[in-house]
Structure 1
Amino acid sequence: MSKSYPVIGCCGIECGLCPRFYTEGSSKCPGCGGESFEKLHPACSFKTCCADKRKLEVCSQYAEFPCRKFEDRSKIERDSFVRHKRIFINHEMIKSGGLKKFIFGLGEHISVLRQALEYYDDGRSKSFYCIAAALLSQAALHSALSEASGIEGDNKAKAKALRALLTGCARSENVELKLIK
């Protein structure tokens, strides 16, 4: 089954904030349930159970959520894949506010990320921007992008400035913008 919202994984990962979602070529990931997803991730047990078997978008729409796949919360949240940090928060937001409201909010983060990639990409900042878009508040992201809009120079200079602004926002929000080791 293809999903209506490939930007959010059945498991709760924000696919639309992943560097591979924005990669060109054979390593591009279409997001959970997106076109050709099964060719890249044929054994995804979350999608098989949630979307294919139960015809749901995300696991938290299932009455018996969380299932045993989510038992070791601390292990999932410690994973070096930064978007794993938000899996449980995402599911809680979907359960309390509904999927469409969640997708709207995620769309705001994706919009800022796309602007950063379009106007401030030096060829080395994609992962950093994805992490920032996943972990910082919408207000911080919009503030950094707004302040960066007045910066002149080539992509390298603009990327350096935006990275500094996002790092400052992260400090203010007590967020670390790096992989978990």
Structure 2
Amino acid sequence: MSPNKFKRNDLLFSLCGLNCSLCPMFIRGGCSGCREGSTCYQICEFAPCSIEHGNIDYCFECDEYPCEKYDGVDLHDSLITHKNQLKDMEKAKTIGIENYRAEQREKRGILDKLLNEYDSGCGDVFFCLAVNLMEVDDLKKVVNEADESTKNMTLDEKSSFIMDLLNNCAENRNIQLKLRH
């Protein structure tokens, strides 16, 4: 199959269930992702499968989902976490893709705030990971607390403060904010 036949309508949530809009490479503009004609097609086993199954937008639309391609998919990370890949795919299937996209847009807004107001230059991967793995309500609470508590802090102090808040909140939810390679 030719990569020219591979088409994606949603560039923010991948075919296989990764949240591209919350990925540091996507945010930096360095990821061609699951786009028509991208190099992703050459290394991704999901893209050719999409074509074979009628250019489906999400694997959960396939009668064979979850197939053997998902065996162990969430055991390792790339530049974006794969920890919730299956969970996010199931959530999108259950609540509907439009509702899922709305939640992801809200998360992206929180991520943008973290990157614009709390990143001292080296927190993008951490913030992307936190926003990807944590629930919106927890993220909002952390951001609200940080906004109130960091008004007179330097950017480095603000960054450290909110990272500690995110780590503490994640620990309370048994979420580990580290990529696994």
Into which bin does the TM-score normalised by the smaller protein fall? 0.7 to 0.9
Cα distance in structure 1, aligned partners of 2:51 and 2:84: 20
Asked if 1:63 is matched to 2:63, the reply is yes
Asked if 1:16 is matched to 2:13, the reply is no
* TM-score, normalised with respect to structure 2: 0.85
Q: Pick one of 1, 6, 11 that aligns with 2:11.
A: 6
Cα displacement (A) at 1:4: 2.4
State the number of aligned residues. Answer: 173
Q: Which residue in 2 is equivalent to 1:32? A: 34
Q: How does 1:62-141 map to 2 (within 5 A)?
A: 62-70=62-70, 72=71, 75-81=72-78, 83-141=81-139
**Residues 170, 177 of structure 1: 8 Å contact kept:** yes
Cα distance in structure 1, aligned partners of 2:166 and 2:130: 7
Cα displacement (A) at 1:180: 2.5
Cα distance in structure 2, aligned partners of 1:60 and 1:90: 11
Cα displacement (A) at 1:97: 1.6
**Residues 167, 177 of structure 2: 8 Å contact kept:** yes
Cα distance in structure 1, aligned partners of 2:51 and 2:101: 17
What's the Cα RMSD here? 2.1
Distance 1:52 1:108, change over 3 A: farther
SS in 1 for 2:14: coil
Cα displacement (A) at 1:30: 4.4
Moved over 3 A (4+): 39-43
Work out the percentage of aligned pairs sharing the same amino acid: 27
Distance 1:40 1:12, change over 3 A: closer
Residue ranges of structure 1 left out of the alignment (5+ in a row) = none
Counterpart AA for 2:160: K
Counterpart AA for 2:11: P
Cα displacement (A) at 1:40: 5.5
Q: Which residue in 2 is equivalent to 1:165? A: 165
Larger mean CA deviation between 134-143 and 89-98 belongs to 89-98
SS in 2 for 1:29: coil
Distance 1:41 1:64, change over 3 A: closer
Cα distance in structure 2, aligned partners of 1:118 and 1:86: 25
